[in-house]
A and B are shown apart, each in its own frame.
Chain A
């Protein structure tokens, strides 16, 4: 307790001794400094605060993407959606089963399309054909299309990469 009050007295004396003009200057400097420190801290805290709030889209979908909603596709219908950084194809077979495959043709990377007249996947660029499992069955494509797993979660159709066995 004693040391505290002596401290305080020292402060007051030094303030008196220092005189009025330096004290005003000192106070201005304190204001400037305090303001600067506050502002610079704010310019750190503000971005951090915004960063911590989760964005509305929770996923960029490298591994799992909601491709569509139930009811959007009819039998023999299809849709192109983004999976990771490449296009992918979601289709519904005549029997109502969902299938999802990479939509990047293995020949020269054109985007393939589902032909519901042939019930096969066709590439317009050089007439390549794949079956619904992605196997390359005709034309130039040298390799099959990568196929993905489809799950129906509630009213969402979720496409995920196949897990290694």
Chain B
């Protein structure tokens, strides 16, 4: 190639590159001069470029002006003029409408995320927060209280204030603040109670994202406590079996006519701890005896149910102890261990069947479990018997070996005595 040809190619290439660069920068970085000043200011006017870069709106190409108005391309105070449409700080009373301007517009949102719901504002208006807001209460939560502002992340981001792992803390910011909630007639111990619950353990400690948090039962935008009759619908989303039993039981009608909130009566709502057989007892955790009288027919049935559950529990534990003993002596009991799972399943099923409040059904499950536990106990005994048999066998073999060693010893002594005698002669 001649020199002039290569020079021409180089020049064209350079121009092309510059053009692409400029075009590219014009597209990817929509001018947002606001941050040039506001990044250097002190709070509450401070919004740094780093902060805003983490906001999903910024990532989608929106600028400060899309909410606050003004001219994001100008670098002087003219950008904040009325003429440029500047709105200044958005008042709390304006927030839901402002967010809803885009987020309720299905056609608009389709451009960014076609699967995103667009009913948040209408849901909000049905919620306790929304209803109080409509009456003029400015202490209730609005969009930015839960979602954040200027560094708003999508719920799937673990750093988002509305990621399942963080929701309870976000709600607790107000709902656990006694002085903030003083004028409302709601308790403020929900978060403390929830933090002690099995659901919190599952979510925060085990990391099971399917476990419920505040919004799972109350809803998120339409947050309202479920009505007394709807509690079981909420719980039954996961605890379907228990609900099935309960719906066919005597207690359903009884609770309904008394206006009692279903599952919550025995299990609580926020501080739901691991249910133990003590609920069927007469101690501090007793659930039945909070309504029933000692000595009546229900109390009797309760006592019988509790004793048969305890029987099965003990049978399983005894078999387990025996199997562990056998296992630590080196016996192989994997089949029995598998069957132990079955026995425990039967006990779990019996405990679920309590919700039918029908002793015959519960007994069925218990009998099935007792049969399996008995089989496991037998397996454990057989394993221990086999271990003893092996040790006896070892004893016999050892005896033979030691006999041989003794025999060898005497034989050698005899042999050497004979040789000595022979040598002497």
Contacts and interface: CB of A to CB of B under 8 A. Distances in A.
B23 interface: no
A96 interface: no
Contacts of A37: 404, 407
Nearest to B405: A36
B180 interface: no
Contact of B396 (A36, A43, A125): A43
Given A107-B210, A111-B345, A127-B238, A36 B407 contact: yes
A26 interface: yes
B411 A140 contact: no
A29 B412 CA distance: 10
Interface residues of B, number: 37
B3 interface: no
Contact of A36 (B211, B349, B352, B404): B404
Interface string B324-341: 000000000011001001
A82 interface: yes
B229 interface: no
A43 B338 contact: no
A25 interface: yes
A94 interface: no
A25 B237 contact: no
A62 B352 CA distance: 33
Interface in A20-69: 22, 25-26, 29-30, 32-33, 35-37, 39-40, 42-43
A42 B399 CA distance: 13
A75 interface: no
A119 to B, nearest CB: 17
B240 interface: yes
Interface string B389-425: 0000000110011011111101100100110011001
A111 B418 CA distance: 75
A137 to B, nearest CB: 13
Nearest to B345: A111
B238 A26 contact: no
B21 interface: no
Nearest to B243: A127
B414 A29 contact: yes
A141 B236 CA distance: 16
B238 A39 contact: no
Given A26-B414, A127-B239, A82 B210 contact: no
A33 B407 contact: yes
B108 interface: no
Contacts of B237: 127
A6 interface: no
B401 A40 contact: yes
A70 interface: no
Contacts of B408: 33, 36
Contacts of B401: 36, 40, 43
Contacts of A74: none
A36 B421 contact: no
B239 A110 contact: no
Contacts of B210: 107, 126, 139-142
B400 A29 contact: no
Nearest to B410: A29
Nearest to A60: B334
B145 interface: no
A127 B210 CA distance: 11
Given A110-B345, A124-B241, A36 B400 contact: yes
Interface in B207-234: 208-211
Contacts of A87: 338, 341
B338 A32 contact: no
B180 to A, nearest CB: 34
Given A33-B408, A36-B403, 15 more contacts: A17-B422, A17-B425, A18-B422, A22-B417, A29-B410, A32-B403, A32-B407, A35-B403, A43-B401, A107-B208, A111-B345, A126-B210, A139-B210, A140-B208, A140-B210
* 6 tightest Cβ-Cβ pairs between the two chains A and B: A36-B404, A140-B210, A33-B407, A39-B400, A43-B397, A36-B403
23 contacts: A14-B418, A17-B425, A18-B421, A22-B414, A22-B417, A29-B411, A32-B403, A32-B406, A33-B410, A36-B403, A36-B406, A37-B404, A39-B403, A40-B400, A40-B403, A43-B401, A107-B210, A108-B208, A110-B345, A111-B341, A127-B237, A140-B208, A142-B209
Interface of B: 208-211, 236-241, 334-335, 338, 341-342, 345, 348-349, 352, 396-397, 400-401, 403-408, 410-411, 414, 417-418, 421-422, 425
